[in-house]
Amino acid sequence: MIIENDGVDASRSPAFLSRMLQFGDSMFPIGAFAFSSGLESAIQEGVVTDAATLRAFARTALEQAARGDCIALIAGHRAATAGDVDTLVRIDTRVYARKLSDEARTMSVRMGKKFTEMGVEVVGAPLLHAWRECIETSITPGCYPIALAINFAVQDLPASQAFVVHQYGVATTILGAALRLMKVSHIETQKILYELTGQTDGMYATAAAARLSDMAGFAPLTEILAAIHTRAHVRLFMN
């Protein structure tokens, strides 16, 4: 297992940082703006009503991602660094098998496929080509955390930065949707984001120490919100 580039290397050149920003940008065209991660239903059902409940809802999403997808993200980064496609397929299949709602699966495989395709076009490493081939031939579902892990590994960007980008994406998807769905100001959403990203270190340490079989979670109301969203008549977002 190669873990040398798991952590943050302080001597990284500014170019690496700008690449991380590019692929971690919420405007990166993988369609994240089309999803609300259950927030749309949460607002319609009165579960999220103000900045405080929005903060708690986003925090739940971050905790669930750190306990689940991010363990696979870090394991995927190690496998991608070793160029081990079979292990990547195995990890990806396990991530998919743990997405128990249609909309969570749709979001993950749609963003995963787009992220891989963008990587092929922009970065163009052989592993990215191989992974796109695996997705197109249905050898693997192509979930987002694995696509992100492979992209960062082939660019020599560390797993910790892939983790940061993943979690930043989880938070900004919800907070971006909140601006369009509820009465909340840009100042409030930025304050929430600032506060939530402050917990990244602890979450990364836990996820990096976990095994793939440790992927777990517990957020039943979020799952019920997903069930409600698939049935909603009026929908602005895809989940």
Partner 1 sequence: MIPAAFPPWARAETLGASMPEFASFQDEPPQMSSGTVGKTGFLHLGFEHRSGKTILASLERRVPYMVQRALHCDEQMPGLAYVFLITTTGCLLQGDRLALDITLHPRAQAHLTSQSATKIHAMDANYAAQSQTIVLADDAYLEFLPEPVIPHRHSRFISDTQISVAPSATLLLSEIIQPGRKHHHPDECFGATVLSVSTAAARPDGRSLFAEKLVIEPRRYVMRQTGVMDCFDVFANVILCAPKDKADRIHERAGADINLADGVAFGACRLPNDAGLIFKVLGRETAQVKAKVREFWSVVREEVIGTALPPPYLWR
Contacts with partner 1 by CB under 8 A lie at: 38, 42, 45-48, 53, 56-57, 59-61, 63, 67, 93-94, 96-102, 105, 210-211, 214-228, 230-231
Nearest distance from C-beta of residue 23 to partner 1, angstroms: 27
Cβ neighbours of residue 75 closer than 8 Å, sequence gap 6 or more: 91, 149, 212
Q: What's the min distance (Å) between Cβ of 167 and partner 1? A: 16
- Tell me if residue 7 falls in helix, strand or coil: coil
CB of residue 38 to partner 1, shortest distance in Å: 7
Indicate the residue among 82 and 216 with the shorter CB distance to partner 1. 216
| Nearest CB to partner 1, comparing residues 13 and 213 | 213
CB of 199 to partner 1, least distance (A): 12
**Inter-helix orientation angle 220-231/102-122, to 10°:** 90
Q: Which is nearer to partner 1, 126 or 220 (CB)?
A: 220
Q: Token pair 């969203």 is at which residue?
A: 229
Output 190 or 230, the one with its CB closest to partner 1: 230
d(CA 15, CA 20): 9
Q: For residues 188 and 214, is the Cβ–Cβ distance under 8 A?
A: no
Both tokens assigned to 184 = 């909340």
| 135 Cβ contact partners less than 8 Å away, ≥ 6 residues apart | 112, 113, 116, 141, 142
Q: How far is the CB of 222 from partner 1 (least distance, A)?
A: 4
CB of 112 to partner 1, least distance (A): 14
Nearest to 178 by CA among 65, 69, 35, 62: 35
Instruction: Between 28 and 96, name the residue whose CB sits nearer to partner 1.
Output: 96
SS3 state of residue 210:
coil
The neighbour count for residue 234, using CB atoms within 10 Å, is 6
* Residue among 122 and 219 whose Cβ is closer to partner 1: 219
